Amino acid sequence: MNLDPMDRAILTELQHNGRVTNAELAATVGLSPSASLRRTRALEQAGVIDRYVTLIDPGAVGRGTTVFVEISLDTQSESQLDAFEAAIVACPEVMSCHLMAGDADYLLQVVCSDVGDYERVHRDWLSKLPGVSRIRSSFALRAVCQRTAFDL
């Protein structure tokens, strides 16, 4: 979908406040409410807007430890990649999983309560994933920059 300046303005506002009412959104971007709603629905239907979420402070819900985990597989066959990817989505502590180019095959972002909780995740989930030959964990000390909005 080709985004025009008005689409970008709508998306920018929604990224900063997903709970904005259509009337407020329309006023902010300079459209009528009906035009704003029509454009927003078109962005949703085109898949530009994937979903609406609430961002939670991980520390406030007892998940203040972030671990970045590099996973290497023993082979990179399609069936091995499929098996790994099917298994990793079942682990609730994995917030993101990316297929990588470079030394590791996958990079995970894991959130847990503390080092002991990560040990449980490692033991109960990560070490049991199919085809894993190496797990390398790096603990984040603090987030310096963490964005949820794209600059449009």
Reference 28, options 43, 12, 52, 46; nearest CA is 12
Q: Quickly state the pLDDT bin for 106 (edges 50, 70, 90).
A: very high
Burial-class residue 72 by CB neighbours within 10 Å (0-12, 13-18, 19+). middle
For 76-89, write each residue's pLDDT tens digit: 999 999 999 999 99
The answer to whether 70 touches 88, Cβ cutoff 8 Å, is: no
Confidence (pTM) = 0.89
| CATH number for domain 5-45, candidates 3.40.30.10, 1.10.10.10, 3.40.50.720, 1.20.1070.10 | 1.10.10.10
Q: Where are the domains of the chain?
A: 5-45, 58-139
Task: Provide the mean pLDDT of the chain.
Answer: 96
Fold that domain 58-139 belongs to in CATH: Alpha-Beta Plaits (3.30.70)
* Residues 23, 29, 32, 34, CA torsion sign: negative
DSSP lists the bridge partners of residue 68 as: 109, 138
What is the DSSP annotation of 118-145?
HHHHHHHTGGGSTTEEEEEEEE-S--S-
SS3 5: helix
Mean pLDDT of 120-130: 97
Mean pLDDT of 107-129: 97
What pLDDT score was predicted for residue 1?
83
Kindly tell me if the per-residue pLDDT of 12 is higher than 90. Answer: yes
What pLDDT score was predicted for residue 145?
94
For 13-70, write each residue's pLDDT tens digit: 999 999 999 999 999 999 999 999 999 999 999 999 999 999 999 999 999 999 999 9
